[in-house]
């Protein structure tokens, strides 16, 4: 979920013209993606990670499922008025 959230926050920062803050969110997203790839097959390290990733992926291809709200949030442009940084 940190991958989706940091991407949403990056998008919001870019819309608001905050390039430095957007770069920080982009860095967070990249680091989280690398971590997910490294531990995806290790259920002993992060139980449930695979199902969370599959949920995000199903949301991305239109099936939505339980992670659909995260994807809708990202598509709306992230934090918006609720939480500006």
Q: What is the dihedral of CA 83, 79, 5, 71, to 10 degrees?
A: 150
Model confidence band, residue 24 (pLDDT cutoffs 50, 70, 90): very high
Mean per-residue pLDDT of the chain: 76
Q: Is residue 26 pLDDT above 90, yes or no? A: yes
- pLDDT for 27-49, tens place per residue? 998 998 888 888 887 878 878 88
DSSP at 46: S
Number of C-beta neighbours around residue 45 at 10 A? 10
Residue ranges per structural domain of the chain:
2-75
If one compares 44 and 24, the residue with the highest pLDDT of the two is 24
pLDDT score of 63: 59
């Amino acid at each position: 979920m940190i991958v989706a959230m940091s991407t949403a926050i990056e998008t919001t920062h870019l819309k608001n013209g905050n390039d430095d803050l957007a770069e920080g969110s982009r860095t967070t997203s990249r680091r989280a993606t690398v971590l997910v790839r490294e531990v995806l097959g290790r259920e002993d390290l992060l139980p449930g990670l695979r199902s969370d990733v599959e949920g995000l992926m199903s949301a991305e291809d239109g099936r939505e499922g339980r992670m659909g709200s995260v994807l809708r949030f990202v598509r709306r442009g992230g934090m918006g008025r609720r939480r500006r940084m």
